[in-house]
Every structure is written in C-alpha cells, then in structure tokens.
Structure 1
Amino acid sequence: MISVFDMFKIGIGPSSSHTVGPMKAGQQFVDDLIRKELISTVTRVSVEVYGSLSLTGKGHHTDKAIIMGLAGNMPDTVNIESIPKTLEEVALNQCLTLGGKNNGHEVLHQVHFSSKNGIIFHHDKNLPLHENGMQIHAFDDTKEENEKKVYSKTYYSIGGGFIVDQEHFGKTEANAPTVSYPFCSAKEILANCEENGTSISAMVMKNELEIHANTANTVNAVSPEAKVEDYFAQIWETMCSCIDQGKNTEGIFAGAVTGTPPC
C-alpha cells in the first residue's frame, strides 16, 4: 500500500517523472558505489537516457537533475540557488564531484564528466520495461579496455517521482505494510467505505496511521498522528513559500517556453 507521503511530496520541478525520478536515480547510484566500496576506483561516469525520458529530457531538465543527483542532492532538499553554479563548474572543469553518505558521514569523490558525452539522449531507442529508462555507468579508466566498467545500473522512472531498478521492476515490495482498508482502484475505495460506513478521508487516515505505527514503539518516537500532522504542515508551508517566492520574483521561470504561440 502506497502512503500518502509518497503521493504528496516536496520535490523540484518541472516534472516528477522526468526531473525528480532521475535526480533520485543519480543519488541512488552513488550510494550503491559507496555501499559496494567501489567509489574510490571510479574515474569517470556517464549516463544514457532513453525513450520518453530522452525526448522531453532537455525541456524537463532531466540532464541537470541527473547531475545534481550524482552530486548528492535530493529533490526535496536541493538548494535550487546552487544549481546554476554547480552545472557551470561541471561544464567548465569537465569534472563532477560525486556525493553520498556512508554511515551518516558525507563521502565526496571527483570524477571526469564530459559536458559533450557525459549524458547521451537516445531519442530513437527504448529500454524494454518502460518508456522512461536510463542507465548510469561508472568507469575506471586506468584499467584495460574490457575491464574499465566498474558498475552499471538501469533505472526506470515510473511516475510520481518513483524509480525502480531493472532487477526489482514489477516485483512486490517484500515488507509492504498491511492496512485495514487495502485497495487498488477507486471502485475498491468506494466499496470499503460502503461496507464499513466510513468516509474516504477517514479510511485513508486509518490506513496512514497503521502504515506509520511501526515507528511508534521505539524510544522517543513520534506518534503516527503527530507524524502525519507534521508532514502535511511541512507540505503546506512549502506550498505557501513557493507561492510567496513566485509573487515576489521577477523574470521568466526556468524552462519556460518563450515566444509567441501560434494562433
């Protein structure tokens, strides 16, 4: 059962599938390198983007999102004011500092990243499992040609900012939480409400509290009720902040289409 925390989340735009997902994939790739103790051997990283993710990639800043993810940023916490400078430095120096965490400690490692070939958009190719596919490769250029590739991973951005790697595509989550009112369709939502004499909002809240109840038994844990209230208070605060920033900032939004539209 997907939590409403997964559906309503803070993230950089303009697209959850083409911006948020690729940034998360980049960050997850670096975390894998750290976890597998491979990051110190990497000298170069490259990315291939396929299908729909490629066709609208530039307009949705997929390339920028991937670079920022590889640099250790996440969609909900990235400092948007730092993005232009980071991208400028990568293009100027042809280098990218990979960023991640190891037991809570920051790990940084500089690699070569070509502004020309670092990210390749395959407009006429698709990966087999989903139209929003991408592959990230890490290389050790000190080795022989057939041994250069240190690690490679295929990711799919499946919508709503969710990503899944090829090995787990289509598989059910092993430790998925159980809830009182499971559903997979609007029809099942309405059936649950009718059978139990409850509203949609009450049903969703009960499910949500049960999803987060497993953290309530630890020492100093926040109650499920407080966790839900605090999370959506943060969502509302962020929405208000975005509105306020838009009202008080002049200029054109990043990625906006300029020019006169056709009649």
Structure 2
Amino acid sequence: MFLSVFEMFKVGIGPSSSHTMGPMVAAARFLDQLRAGPFTPASVGAVLHGSLAFTGKGHATDRAVILGLAGFTPEDFDADAAEATLSDIAARRSVAPEGLPRMGFDPEKDLRFDYETALPGHANGMVLLARDAQGDTLVQQVFYSVGGGFVLTDRELAEGADTDTGPPVPYPFKTAAQMVEMAESSGLSIAAMKRKNELSRRSGGDLDRGLDRIWQVMAACIDRGLTTDGTLPGGLNVRRRAAGIFDALKAEHGRNQAAPHVMLDWMSAYAMAVNEENAAGGQVVTAPTNGAAGVVPATIRYWLDHMPGASRRQVPEFLLTAAAIGGLVKHNASISGAECGCQAEVGSASAMAAAGLCAVLGGTPRQIENAAEIALEHHLGMTCDPIRGLVQVPCIERNGLGTIKAVSAASLALRGDGVHLVPLDAAIETMRQTGNDMSEKYKETSLGGLAVNVPNC
C-alpha cells in the first residue's frame, strides 16, 4: 500500500476538500472525458446527491461545480478570475472551457440538488452529463468525492481503484504493525521509510521542493489568518477570532506567559487561523482534509515557535511521518466526514500531527505509533454536524482542540517506551466500525446534532 505525501497534503481551496475541491476535480475529469470523446456536446449539467446535496450550499459545492465545468482546478485556482467567470456564466448561461466548444449551462436549471436519491457508492455522489442540441444525453458519468480531494468514478470505486497501482515501493506497509516492524528491522525511521517509498516514484529534488511548498502554503495560510479579521461568509455571522487572540497573546508577552493555559491559546490561535481562512474560501492544504486542515500546520508552528531546539530543516520529517499515518487511516478506514463523521477528519489529523511531533522530538517508531493511537482514540465517535452546512461551527474551534490533543498525545507517548494496550490498528478499525454504525444525521448532512439544536439564522 502506498499513498504519496502529496496525496495526503494537497494544495487547494476552501471550504471543503470533499465538497469543494472534489467536485471541482470531478468536473475537470469530466471535461477531459468530453475532450477525448467523439461527440460535440451542446450543453452540460450536474446533479448532486447525498451529503453533497444536503450541505452543498454551505460548502460552496455549487460554485465548485460551475467553476470546474468552466475549466478551473483547485491547484491553480485564481479567485479574481473565478468571480469574473461566474458573472459571465450567469449572464451568458454557458461555459467555455479550453479545448471544447461553448456549451449551454444555466446554473439555475442545469445544477440540481437531489435530496431524495442517495447514490450507492458513497455519501458524496454526483452525476455530470453532456447533451446534444436536442437535449438528449450524450455522456453521463457518476463521480464520488471520497474525502481529502480524492475523486473516483463509480467504476473505479467498484473496482477498488483507490488502491496503489504504481511500481513496487521498498517499504509497502499496510498496517501500523507492519510499519513499526519494518522500521525496527531496517533500522530506519518511519519518515526515512516514507522518503524511500516516495523516491521510488519521483526524484529527490522534486520531493524536497514539493515538501517545501506544502509547508510554505501552510505557513502562509496561518499568517493570513493571524492578520485578518472581520466576519466569515455564509450567513452565520461568525467573527474571525484568531487574529484577536494572536494580538492579545503578543501583547501579554512577559506577563502571564508562564500560565500553563497560555500555551493552549497559542495552539488554538494557529489552528483557528487556518480554518478561518478555509471557511473564507482561501488557499489551504488538505491535512488530510480541508475541514481538518488546521491541526497539522498549527502543531508544526507551535513546535517551531515555542519548543527549544526546533528546526525548520525537520519539517519534511514531520510531514512524511504524518503522511504515513494518514495513509494508514485512509487505506483501512476513512478520512471522510460524510462517511465516518468528524472522527475521520479531525481525529485523523490529530493522529497525524501527534505522530509528526513525536518524530521530530526524537520518538522511536513504537512511540510514534503510540502517539497517533492516543490522539485518534480520543476522537472516536466524534460526529460531523456543521451548522447550516458551513465549515465554521464547530469545525474551526475543533481544529484548535485537535491540535491540543495532538501535542498532549505526543508528550504522553514520549513519557513511555512505546508499549501500550491499544494498537493504532485497533483504533483505526474501531473508527471505521463506529462510522459504519453512526446515523447519517451525524455524517456531514447537517440533519442532526448542533446543526439542528442551535439557532442558525
């Protein structure tokens, strides 16, 4: 089993990897299908199902699909160009992606939210279609956005095409137990094994440049969030708080900084900065998803700025270790809130961050596995119930608490020798089973929990 660090950490846009990035990627794939096909489409349309329908408006899924059909992709998204394109589409009721004729598309009629019919493969299902001049369907394709920006067609999902099909890697661990055993038998760290696996697919220069870009985008996102105030879009009138907390912490420097709780405030400020940017539709890195994007970068920033001996040179070790853990969770359970609730998003992110921090603080493979297990175990059962379908409440603060748990889990693991009762593999399997048992009301549909018990207008 191999999932690249660049699959776990993708540069994209907010507010959701599964509801914004995924549908945009699906639309781009559909355009490629049309470009390669024998037909000349006259118009296109889209139908959103399941969680994409129920929380699509709050997650900007409609905008993502429209822009995707116009040729936009998450990795090179230009916000100003997007706004101009949306205005043009609304006026001309058509899209004109590169390499295809201008095709009819009326956002009011050709983008439909189907709240009644759930597609069988995954909660995040959508259908894209192209029609001829008479309105008859020429091409129709089902896509599933399976979390973290990963997208599969219905056929790919049925065939298990989310598994690795590339050349063999030197350390192909599928479980945490295999990972630890390989590390101990080889004498390599988890990050070193992950690096060797990556180098079987790309050059060292590409790997290093890619890792550097991941951290640059993460750090820039934190910095923007720490210097931007105002109200988040969507109608809940949620005020940005990270900048105010950050300013207060800086102003208090030297006075009450010794109070234990102040360190928690720094962690929360960094994480909330990222997720406020995400909620505003800014550029973020999936870690492993947008809804949980604040935990890993906040933990890195806390380590770099507040722990003696921290070095920027170790950030790749942190990211590679975290990606190894995230890959295990995705392969054996899920990183999708629509599939397993928020335990699959913030819980996975906290496990990844705990492992990464434990690694750069000198933890052994067994201590790293223990850190990830502690963090994930104490997110088990967490529901995904965003108010009004927006990635704001409880999502933003939840990333702060996930960061705090990650740091605590790493610290606890480092106090031990790696021997512990509950293996990480058991925690991952428990998360999968819990997600299967969880009511759909609590899996990113906004039909239960806080989403219905807190006034949201």
Over aligned residues, Cα RMSD in angstroms?
A: 2.3
Give the helix-richer structure, 1 or 2.
2
Question: What runs of 5+ residues in structure 2 fail to find an aligned partner?
Answer: 240-392, 394-453
Matches within 5 A, 1:1-263: 1-38=2-39, 41-97=40-96, 99-100=97-98, 107-142=99-134, 148-169=136-157, 170-172=159-161, 175-212=165-202, 224-255=203-234, 257-258=236-237, 262=454
Output one character per residue of 1:189-214: Cα deviation in whole Å (capped at 9) or x when no partner.
222212322211111111111122xx
Deviations 1:145-189 (A, max 9, x none): 6xx111111101111111111121142468422111112232322
Shift of 1:244: 3.8
Q: Report the Cα distance in structure 1 between the residues aligned to 2:102 and 2:94, rounded to whole angstroms.
A: 7
Report the secondary structure of 1:211's partner residue: coil
How many angstroms does 1:119 deviate by?
1.0
Q: Secondary structure at the match of 1:116?
A: helix
* Counterpart residue identity of residue 160, structure 2: K
Task: Provide the secondary structure at the position in 1 that maps to 2:12.
Answer: coil
Gaps of 5+ in 1: 101-106, 213-223
Q: CA deviation at 1:66?
A: 0.9
TM-score by length of 2: 0.49
Amino acid at match of 1:156: Y
> Which residue pairs with 2:270 in the alignment?
none
Give the drift of 1:108: 4.3
- Higher percent of residues as strand: 1
| Higher RCO (Cα < 8 Å, 6 or more apart) | 1
Question: CA-to-partner distance for each residue in 1:203-229, whole Å, 9 max, x for gaps?
Answer: 1111111122xxxxxxxxxxx111111
Question: Contact 1:47 / 1:135 at 8 angstroms: preserved in 2?
Answer: yes
| 3-state SS in 2 of match to 1:192 | helix
The answer to whether the 8 Å contact 2:23/2:68 transfers is yes
Distance 1:181 1:113 in 2: 48
Q: CA deviation at 1:85?
A: 2.4
TM-score, normalization: structure 1?
Answer: 0.83
Give secondary structure in 2 for the equivalent of 1:155.
strand
Q: 1:255 to 1:231 in 2, by over 3 A?
A: farther
Structure 2 CA distance for partners of 1:174 and 1:201, relative to 1, 3 Å: closer
For the 8 Å contact 1:61–1:255, the answer to whether it is kept is no
Aligned residues: 239
Between the two proteins, what is the percent identity of the paired residues?
Answer: 36
Partner Cα distance (2:54, 2:185) in 1: 46
